Amino acid sequence: MAERFYYPSDEVLAQANVPEYEQRYRYSIEQREAFWAEQAATLAWYQPWDKVLDDSNKPFYQWFTGGKINIIHNAIDRHLTGATRNKLAIIWESEKGQVRSFSYHALNREVCQFANVLKSMGVQKGDIVTIYMPQIPELAFAMLACAKIGAAHSVVYGGFSVEALAARIEDADSRVLVTADGGFRRGKPTDLKSIANEAMQRSPSIEVCITVRNNGLEVQMESERDFWYHDLQSLPIASPRCDTEVMDAEDRLFILYTSGTTGKPKGLVHTHGGYAVYTATTHRMAFDIKPEDRWWCAADPGWITGHSYMIYGPLINASTLIMYEGAPNYPYPSRWWQMVEKYGVTILYTSPTAIRGLMRFGDRWSARYDLSSLRLLGSVGEPINPEAWRWYYEVIGGSRCPIIDTWWQTETGGFMICPLPITPLKPGSATKPFFGNEIGVVDDAGNEVPVGEEGKLVVKNPWPGMARTIFGDPQRYAELYWGDYADKGYYKAGDSAKIDEDGYVWIIGRMDEVLKVSGYRLGTAEIESALVSHPAVTEAAAIGLPHELKGTGIHTYVLLRSGLIGDKHLETELKEHVARELGRIATPESVQFVESLPKTRSGKIMRRVLRARALGQDEGDLSTLEE
């Protein structure tokens, strides 16, 4: 932790949107509501709020109550006058090199048309539309169209598979599903529609399924239920004019499911008002957004990073964003660098896994391209190891671009701990709290642990971008996040961390049964239940172990039905089974056949014992072990 600082250049300092941190931070804490009111005032409201923060029903905080707003009014409508109207909103490139771009004017047209289509299908304010798509412009149009008419979207990552999709459709009780025939990955078509069809069979609430023609795969369509997107967009009902629904600040914008400690994914609920204020402010300040920027968030819209910083934050800030559907190293490891040069990307925001993945090909791939347009780099999703940080900084950023390492979660909506471009950096630390936030590292009683010691990461205050609840389970929301330190009003992040003598925060990792595999968030319970759904398996345990590229790799232990023998063939079959149920990202690195699993007397699997054994470490306190 005794790292040397990396200081910003004079050029970075001279152009900073936020030229000073300490004093402004103090103000944002002492006068939190005034700070957020100032930020909210930069957005367009149909009607101003009565109260900035309503904390009368903790932990169900509300922000900007009484205010009327729609995030689309801010992300699109208000950009339709003046010069921004013809500015590019989205530049999309497919893996094959096809390019489609949309000005704000064109984006508005596409969104209005699809909004009218959704309305004609009976979608109303308050409904939840499930979206399961590859990373194509229509994914953004579908999300934005829902928000425009006041329906909430529930985007399910296109890399997820049948069971994951079915469980999310069922929990949201969605009537409408928007999907595509499929996408492309490494030159091969991927199939989404048949997965969607199977999921609809398992969760029959879907009455209308709209499919985008994208990769041309043959698909099975059912009359009455299935429609082609492009057919609908060319009907007279798909008029390019549509009013934006006036929403309460606290109305639901979207649900996004994430993994937790149980097999059932949690649908985190975000709102129109607070989320718009939070994503726009964090994006503008942490990434120093200028009108001429070309912003590339190389995430997938199916995750919170894509929601907040590929779509909503950048569009509210009238940025030009880059979207790329495909693998970073296809057809060559220079693909991304070629795109940076081609589009003059000024800011690249990605994950440590992607950086490590490209780093392994060496420096020569990026050296062929002119990366001088880059002025800032970002990282998200997992701790970035100093080696990858330095490569990113020196080789990609030419030792010129500060690395904005942003710590946050699906639950937080936006950045909670991150540097500003002016902040001196230490590789591997997300540095300091964002404005308005007080961060602590505490023990079980909620007391601050000594400097440099590991403890539990907490946020000591509410913030506008916070998830408001877990869809359908407010009790679980209150207990899970706010229950441990209810007396103090702290939010428990589920991560362990340290704070060093300079006040810099170092994230160590998850403390619960959540794994970050290539930055993707997966629950051990989901993987286990996928394994147990195979007829050969009676019990299963999943743990995470360090993996050079992915950060964490999934390792599993399986008890077979009596009489069955675990062999290589079954191991492969079980790995494929998990990939088919949950998605390829959840494929275990290993399946070990065991006779028993270490359990507590109450029957809970002691994963930490499995982990310690696998790593050859001390197994710790075994007093609760059953046998």
Nearest distance from residue 413's CB to ligand PRX, in Å? 9
3-state secondary structure of 32: helix
Q: Are 129 and 153 in contact (CB under 8 A)?
A: yes
Nearest distance from residue 327's CB to ligand PRX, in Å? 20
DSSP type of residue 309: I
Distance CA 157, CA 173 (A): 18
Residue partners of 493: CB distance under 8 A and separation at least 6: 409, 411, 456, 457, 458, 459
380/586 with CB nearer ligand PRX = 380
282/406 with CB nearer ligand PRX = 406
176/255 with CB nearer ligand PRX = 255
380/537 with CB nearer ligand PRX = 380
Distance CA 103, CA 91 (A): 9
Distance CA 489, CA 338 (A): 48
Helices 22-30 and 32-40: crossing angle in degrees, nearest 10, is 100
69/164 with CB nearer ligand PRX = 164
408/557 with CB nearer ligand PRX = 408
Q: Are 275 and 464 in contact (CB under 8 A)?
A: yes
Q: Are 406 and 378 in contact (CB under 8 A)?
A: yes
Nearest distance from residue 611's CB to ligand PRX, in Å? 16
Dihedral (CA of 136, 138, 144, 147) sign: negative
Q: Residue 586: what residue type?
A: A
Nearest distance from residue 382's CB to ligand PRX, in Å? 5
Nearest distance from residue 44's CB to ligand PRX, in Å? 27
Nearest distance from residue 284's CB to ligand PRX, in Å? 18
Nearest distance from residue 280's CB to ligand PRX, in Å? 17
Gyration radius from the chain CA atoms? 24
- Residue 325 in tokens: 């559907």
Please give the helix or strand (H or E) that residue 557 lies within, else none: strand 551-560
Nearest distance from residue 457's CB to ligand PRX, in Å? 8
150/383 with CB nearer ligand PRX = 383
- The DSSP result for 121-160, as a single string, is TT--TT-EEEEEE-SSHHHHHHHHHHHHTTPEEEEEETTB
Nearest distance from residue 256's CB to ligand PRX, in Å? 9
Q: Are 90 and 103 in contact (CB under 8 A)?
A: no
Nearest distance from residue 171's CB to ligand PRX, in Å? 17
- Residue 536 in tokens: 């050969």
- Residue 2 in tokens: 């005794």
39/518 with CB nearer ligand PRX = 518
Residue partners of 342: CB distance under 8 A and separation at least 6: none
Distance CA 553, CA 569 (A): 21
Residues that bind ligand PRX (CB under 6 A): 258, 303-305, 380-383, 405-410, 430, 493-495, 507, 509-510, 516, 521
Q: Are 508 and 516 in contact (CB under 8 A)?
A: no
Nearest distance from residue 432's CB to ligand PRX, in Å? 13
Strands (E), 337-413: 347-350, 376-380, 403-406
Cis link prior to 59 (omega < 30° from 0)? yes
A 10 A CB-CB count for 27 gives 15
68/283 with CB nearer ligand PRX = 283
183/260 with CB nearer ligand PRX = 260
Distance CA 115, CA 122 (A): 11
226/382 with CB nearer ligand PRX = 382
Nearest distance from residue 303's CB to ligand PRX, in Å? 6
197/409 with CB nearer ligand PRX = 409
